[in-house]
Structure 1
Amino acid sequence: MRTFTTSLCLILVVWMVDVASEKSRIRQKRAWIITSFDIEEEYQGNFPYLVGRVDVDWKLMANFMIDGKGVDEEPRGIFSIDKNTAEMFVHKRIDFESHQRFLLKFYATNKTTGRVNTELGMEINILDINDHAPQFSRALYETHRMESTSQGETLVTVYASDDDDSSTCNGTFSFRIISVYPETTNAEFYIDQTKNSQHGAISFKGCLDYEEAQKYTILVEAKDHGDKVQLSSTSTVLVNVIDKNNHLPEILGQTGPGKIKEREMGVEVLRIQVTDKDSHGSPAWKAKYTIHGDKGEYFKIETDPETNEGILTVQKLIEYNEVTEKNISISVENVEPYLSCRVRKRVKDSKWDVETSIKETRPKLYPVTITVDDVNDPPIFIPAVKHVEVMENPGVGFLLETFTAKDMDRINSNTFRFLKGHDPADWVTVDSKTGRVVTAKVLDRESSFVNNSTYIVTLYAVDYGEPPMTGTGTLIIHIKDQNDNVPVLSENKLNMCLSDEPIRTKLSAVDPDLPPYSGPFLFELIGDVEGKWRIDPSYGTTVDLIKDSTVYAGHHELLVRVSDNQGHESLQNLSVTVCDCSETPTCHIRRSSTSKMGGGSVGIIILALLMLLVFMFMAILTSCEKKVYTTEDGPGMHLLISNIEEPGTDCGVSRDSKYDHNKASKLHILRGPGEELGDYAPHVYAEEGESVPDAHLDVISIPESDFGSVKLRYLGQRFNTLASICRADVTGKK
């Protein structure tokens, strides 16, 4: 702005020189001098106050005006000028941080005409005062640093700013550390700040020592460089020290019995106790134990996470006969490597002379003696597992194997007995003295207790010690197959659909024997099946049963002979249901749904039988007159004898004296006037719902056009059975 003012001044001088050179031809104009004012911000006195006066030529009378920001533009009403004297006044406080300079326009107008004779610029500069203190970006800074942090490393960086003019002393500031708590001899903190920077880096000299101080509280100040007054503010910095391993663990002693019983595993032998000055629970404090001199690796040692003790346990069997005492050594170190930092000399205005190193320490060995106590040893089977191969179906008492065992406590004497352990089918017996294992039942390879032709029996050898000890032996019996089973059909009931063409269905057989005593099988149909049923192919595990078109709907019983590879055979009954699949998709469903009778159906059948007996009894008591009619049928006339039951002509109720007249009267009551006894409508006794079709009771449909009596001979097996019942004299069946 000062450059701008200088330029205006030069223009004004040039203008005045020009006016002077033309004095003879043009009337001289007024001479003006532009003015700049400096105003200090935040004036504390009374308003309005006079700032100064614009220097004008009082010989030329004019009115003076100003406009621009601070006058008639926002912020309005700060400045004004006396129109007659050109004196400048200030009416309000001005904040340097909001406005550093105002540019106004100055006018001089003719008092008579009001015409503007002069228009020049005016500059008002606002002077900054120190009214703002430096402010930190945070009231609290916090960081965590390892004990192993090297001196000179930046721990934390603080930041501050000042709203005053940064080009003046009011807006620049410096950092300094006011206090550190606690004060320790191992470390000294300082803050670095680049010139005119707003950042301060806090570092330290010496060594951080967790045992000396776990936390440092540092008070930092930022203070400006004001001429009249200096303003400042503070912030707190927390430095948390993380413990590292700068103390070695030391073994104090042991607790526990220090002895074990032979063949014990997983039991605690003793505990090693240690002390460590590092932070409890940290990696620097946690102990790590090592066993020395345990060549057989009989023991292991683990660290208790709560107490830091070493827990020594047995992980491998120790026999008293081999060793009665074990001597080992134990050492301890920390999970984290050992670190040391030591101040040798404090140097002014420079880093201190310190010695820092990470050492590989040689731990001390702590000797431990473990005593092994003798206990009763169990007998040992020699060998523990035996295999035997035997053909199935041996006789009872067949010798399978003889077991032997040894008592390690009494090698020269037999001080135990044999017992049978797990024998799922109870097939064997064991001699308690000799260990002989013989069959008690027939061994069947096809038994459900046999898995992959193998049967397993366990045996025990129990000594007479206190307490008695038991050894275990295993007998694995491999059973070889014999052809002791015949093949059988996998399924004895089949369903087939009625068709004009031959129909096939699958027929399978199984044999629990192994090859070559099982399949493939030979299938044969036995009985009168010519033109009705056949098997193709006849050899295999699954063949086709073929129904020819001459087989009608109904239930058919077939006899099938099935033979294995060795000629062992069996006769199997096969039930085949044939039905019209266009009406019912599954014959089995139809058959099963109609073959089950509920309690209501049984009751109706019984009631029907009772009614039949009543009518038969009535028929015996009813006399019917025989009449003979002559029927002419061509030249060979002959007589047909028949009984007719025309109404009211030939039948009456017997008057036999032996007959119960009360019952007879009841029969007369049943006959109404003008009606015969058999003309009454059926009486409904129970409602059975809609009828259910049955494959065995299908309606026989015979077209009338081609019906012949010979067709009655082919109505099916069930009609033949019915005929034998109705006409035993014709069929010869009783």
Structure 2
Amino acid sequence: MDCGRGKVWMEVGDSSDFGVSGDGVVFALRRLSLVGNEEAVEVIYARDLQSKQVWKTRVHLHLHPQANSTGPLQVKLDDATLTQRVPEILFPWRSMVVRGDGTLRRVKRDWVIPPINVAENSRGQFPEDLVRIRSDRDNNRMLRYSVTGPGADQPPTGIFIISPISGELSVTKPLDREHISNFHLRAHAVDLNGNQVENPIDIVINVIDQNDNRPEFTHTIFNGTKVTQYTLIIQATDMEGNPTYGLSNTATTVIRVTDVNDNPPEFTTDTFFGEVHENRVNVIVANLTVTDKDQPHTTAWAAVYRIIAGDPTGRFSIPTDPTTNEGLLTVVKPIDFELTRSFMLTVEAENEVPLARGMHLPRQSTATVSVRILDINESPEFSPNPKSIKLEEGLPAGSLLTTFTAQDPDRFLRQTIRYSKMHDPANWLEIDPVNGRISTIAILDRESPYVKNNLYNVTFMASDNGIPPASGTGTLQMYLIDINDNSPHVFPPEVEMCEKPHPNAINITASDPDLAPNGGPFAFEFASRPSDVRRNWTLHRINGEHAQLLLRIGTLASGIYEVPIMITDSGNLPMSNTSYLRVKVCQCDLHGDCVDMERIIAAGLGTGAIIAILICIIILL
């Protein structure tokens, strides 16, 4: 089309639906179907073939309201605008150089295309034109332009587009520098046959930052222990304006940050594991570890542990290790494997002091502790222990007394138990090694020195066949009932008295190891022989335990006399015994003391005794 000043070339933008004739008539290339108020918008380019200026306008195509679907289209044109309002980027041009033979040679000019700066978060009308890319070869031919790279035909696609006719590069949406800070595109120029007419050029688009992000703290809670102390140097200068002539001085200020409890202890794991042998106490089962960001070895750092579930009988405790701050899960009561084989404890840890005000954190941390109980070979146990029986003394050897057996706590192992005797002071009993039956091997005597307060104790042992074997002990306590098995006798067995009748009374006592009613009261009398006993002596009963011996005649010659006294106890089937009381009759002084005891003793000695005494005297001489 000739506009008077030169020829103009017209062309429709990227569309396969419409075309434009040389005189500016827009026509449809195929049958269209527009619904309702729907319209088609096309861009028409006009290029001055002489000045190379390019105009563009948008054409709005829609059906006339009174027309049918085959009627004419109503066309509305926007104001045409020059595309040269945006910066223009030329492909590097080639100059002509004369060869040596006189012919011309094209030389490519090289330069670095400066980057294009685009502000992020633009709110302008999109698509927004950035630059126009143009080749100097469009003077004599029609070219088509395109761009490739991330943001164009590579993800994220569609951010940048280029008009294939005018070469206008546009951005289609706001950019975000925090997401992508720059784009690296390549621009291409080809002829209408798709042949490359220029080497691709690199286009760098930098996204310019805008203040579109608020500052954010790196931590929600800042810990003062990160820097525990600040040292500041403060300078003071007087009001003299020139610092050269002003007087100044400096001082050092130390600011020490004091820690507070703003961090609760936290367990290093959700579940701890431990194991312990049954029946062990004061043994550490598991070490519970926590982390606490507060200053170590302070009340804000020190942890206190508690068991909040899983230990109803109080078999565990958790003291704190003051050095490591670990919780030492400890067994404080024996645990029977046969009753409980495992524990699942829930524990919590918190600081010795409460959290500081304003801390929106839980005061404590919780964890689970799984404790496994290990079985050991336990000792057999006698039951009851001690075992008490009551029986009369005097049982003969071979008498069955009782059965004393033990139970093995390891009931699932079905071990064999055998019995033996450990301690039997008088050696009166024996035990069957298989069934635990206890029998006598000697007569039981309550009056034995091994019997204390009528009780006689024997210790037995029960042993199993485990690996290693285990044994337990049991005590049999026998309470011996007294029977009248001892006859009474006179006490003391020997006395002294004066040959004169005054004072000539002697008190004697009956002694019987049996208890009442098998002891006193006692009956006292002289034996029937010799006959002179009753002539020389009289016997007077004082009470049930004592009697008095008196001289019947006025004077009795000095010497030693054997006085037979028969004593009878009060037991059922009473027992009697004749005891010979040895009476030494001597001459006495005014105070009643014997004065010729040596002669009497000598007289009472036999011939052999006298000879032995004489030999000893001769040897001493």
TM (norm. structure 2) is 0.48
Structure that is richer in helix per residue? 1
